[in-house]
A and B are shown apart, each in its own frame.
Chain A
Amino acid sequence: MSTLNARPMTEPSHIPPDIMDELITWSVKLNSGTASNADQQRFQQWRDIDPRHESAWQTLHAMEQDFMAMPAHTKQLVANTIALADAQTRTTMQRRPKLKALAICAVTLLGSALLIHQVAPWQAPVHYATHMGQRAAFTLADGTQLTLNTNSSVDVRYSLLKREIVLNHGEIYLITGHDTDAWFGRRRFWVDTAQAKFEAIGTRFSVYQHANTTQLHVAEGIVAIHVAQQPAVRAYANDTYRMQGGAAAPLKTQTQHADPMAWVDGVIIAKQMRLESLMSELARYQALPVSYEDDTGDLAVSGVFQLNRDDPAEHALQTLSHTLPIRINRQHAQLLIRKK
């Protein structure tokens, strides 16, 4: 540990008690931040007067140097960490002993073996969010690919024994990862919304939570839908389910999207969709108030609509005005659709 000087040093336990007392008194004085030059000079005299004094001082000095051998920015970090650890220990001591025993099991196992620069499973939930019109993709620690659609928010809570994504609002698309690095075998994978909990088994699927409804679409694999007081329902590839919350059973539905997950690729593909439904959908990406006259809202629309632009809703409407019998008027910051 010591890398220092070849000056004479005494093994700490061999410093005579009275010399140690004097040394300590000097050291306390000189490190006060208020020592004077006269103090420094007198200390130097003390060192010079007896080789045992000098030797004792070298010993203390060497020990302090070892201890302090780190860059300045590290010193602050070390100080902060120790303060945090103390605060944590105080909090833990206050918890009930039984719970504490279980907590120690998980935390200590990880603490002793995990490399610090990997994502530690015990970390606080990670929050991801997008604003209107924005889409974002992330790869999580277990290899899961998470894509957020417009105006969405999730909290990713991976722990020692399970993987959980809490969908606060909006829509996500998931390709679940294989979790090969998990400590106790592949962890179960859950998505939570206000209306239901979904367990994924090696799948590709999307979950859309809005108002008081959750919609699930499975592209590949199986998702088990858990709704309170209902037996679990299995959703398979190409199934779409809607959950209204409460004790209502999940409802298998048809969708008017040719591909409900096309947004991941930046498009909406409508298949005989009502114009009003399409514009409602596009309003998720661009705020655009629209009102309909002459039942124009009921017109059936098919086609591919681009999301990778600032004005996806307005652009779609302009495109449609060429093929549908409609006229678009601007009226008080709103668009009014009428029959041509």
Chain B
Amino acid sequence: MPVADAPPQQELGTFYHTHHAWLVSWLKRRLGCIHHANDLAHDTFLKLIAKPTTLTHIQEPRAFLTTMAHGLMVDQFRKSALEQAYLDAIRHLPVSLAPSPEEHLAILEILLQIDHLFRGLKPNVRNAFLLSRLEGLTYPEIAAQLGVSLRTVETYMAEALRHILTVPRA
């Protein structure tokens, strides 16, 4: 059980002053962009504030921060990749099928949820599941598309379902 000498707010303040500038410059070296480094450091500290664990639990503050920042960066990059892919995907749609502005945001939200839900799974596992649920393909059809055996598709599906049922919700 951690013993705090100072009230939590002061603890966070000290932590911030000690490590924020360092984190920004660490990120800038890796990202090559000061704006991005500032944004990401900001987001990292926000996430830290939201976490229930107190700061005194952290043994290696800088390693902890960089790991958290890296996770956020992967999230951002993935989000941006999805948004860009989405723009590409709708570019060629006929006007009658193009989503409305409200639908854009809803669809992006779905994309992020799906992406988050299946993170950690082998791409083909996720793909098999999406082919089944989103495109309504039969397993023989999925097997043909992915270039694997029927048995493998069944294994993929089982793995995807198990993942959905057991992965902790963020």
Contacts and interface: CB of A to CB of B under 8 A. Distances in A.
Interface of A: 12-13, 15, 20, 23-25, 27-28, 31-34, 59-60, 63-64, 67-68, 70, 73-86, 88-89, 92, 98, 101-102, 104-112, 115-117, 120, 122-123
Contact of A78 (B111, B137, B165): B111
Interface in B52-67: none
A312 to B, nearest CB: 34
Contacts of A34: 138-140
B122 interface: no
Contacts of B41: none
Contact of A101 (B32, B133, B140, B165): B32
6 A-B pairs with least C-beta separation: A33-B138, A111-B80, A105-B33, A85-B85, A84-B85, A101-B32
Residue among A34, A82, A86, A123 with the highest chain B CB neighbour number at 10 A: A82
Contact of A107 (B80, B134, B164): B80
A82 B154 contact: no
Given A78-B111, A117-B101, A111 B162 contact: no
A115 B101 CA distance: 9
A122 B85 CA distance: 12
B35 A77 contact: no
A15 B36 CA distance: 43
A82 B134 CA distance: 11
Nearest to A106: B33
Contacts of B105: 116
14 contacts: A28-B158, A32-B154, A33-B139, A60-B161, A70-B107, A76-B135, A77-B89, A79-B135, A81-B82, A82-B111, A85-B81, A108-B76, A108-B80, A112-B39
A24 B36 contact: no
A89 B131 CA distance: 20
B88 A116 contact: no
A60 B141 CA distance: 24
B31 interface: yes
Given A15-B165, A64-B133, A112-B79, A78 B114 contact: yes
A25 to B, nearest CB: 7
B20 interface: no
Given A28-B158, A77-B89, A82-B111, A68 B164 contact: no
A27 B81 contact: no
Contacts of A78: 107, 110-111, 114, 134
Interface string B136-153: 011111000000000000
